[in-house]
Amino acid sequence: MATMRYLVHDVGAAISFYVDGLDARVEELGARGAVFRNEVVEGPGGRQILVEDPSGNVVELFEPGS
């Protein structure tokens, strides 16, 4: 068993930050001025990108491969 504690300034903003569809999400966040740490990287398990959330946490957005 594992637990995770995720600290945010605004729970509503954090909830609305996470939705399905990596390409659409990257485009939307970029238009809103989000800071990305890399470009989308694709590998055998799927695709990922690192972004700073509204509280400054670095988060991996991941979309599993088909």
pLDDT at 4 over 90: no
First to last CA, the chain: 28
Collapsing DSSP to helix, strand or coil, 9 comes out as coil
Question: pTM higher than 0.75 for the full model?
Answer: no
Q: Note the pLDDT tens digit of each residue in 7-65.
A: 888 888 877 776 768 999 899 999 999 999 999 999 998 899 999 988 888 988 888 88
Specify the fold of 11-64: 2,3-Dihydroxybiphenyl 1,2-Dioxygenase; domain 1 (3.10.180)
Query: Which sequence spans correspond to the domains of the chain?
Result: 11-64
Res 54: pLDDT? 85
Confidence category of residue 2, pLDDT binned at 50, 70, 90: low
Coil, helix or strand at residue 44: coil
pLDDT surpassing 70 at residue 3: no
